Amino acid sequence: MHITSFDEFKELAQRGTFVPVYKEIVADLLTPVSAFLKIAEHSDYAFLLESVEGGEHVGRYSFLGKDPFLILRSREGKTIIDRAGRTSASDKPFMATLRELMASFDSPFVPGLPRFTGGAVGYLGYDAAAWFEPIELQPTAESEDEGGFMLFD
């Protein structure tokens, strides 16, 4: 894997708001799940994302993160942003807010790295289907988030 020089890093920083920083780890005795359990142990928010391409059965990359700098949630029609311990809510549509946030966090392509080098990690729940299609939803449990995404640096 290519090692980025400091001059290359500065040039990449001119092309985006975030520059991917990576470390390749030889982990003969460490599985992605055991690594995740170690980093997530003292964190309320963490993720493990495994990549599998084509017909492969083994992941090429493992992405791990904890302690996001921003959490975006949708609950009962409200869009909620948690950033640096401050929470704000609005009536602005969740997906429009997510698109705006993602447009402000641009990361340049770095040859040799996987396509995913950062961004939002999260989910859309069952109720979010109504945002995209005119469907009749069955009632779900109260106070469940319709969707949630975390951003990590």
User: Between these two residues, 61 and 88, which has the higher pLDDT value?
Assistant: 88
The model's pLDDT over 87-112, given as tens digits with 9 standing for 90+, comes to: 999 999 999 999 999 988 888 888 88
For 94-132, b where at least 16 C-beta lie within 10 A, e where not — what string? beebbeebeeeeebeebeeeeeebbbbbbebeebbeeee
Return the pLDDT at 54.
62
Return the pLDDT at 56.
61
pTM exceeds 0.75, yes or no = yes
Instruction: Compute the mean pLDDT over every residue in the chain, rounded to the nearest whole number.
Output: 86
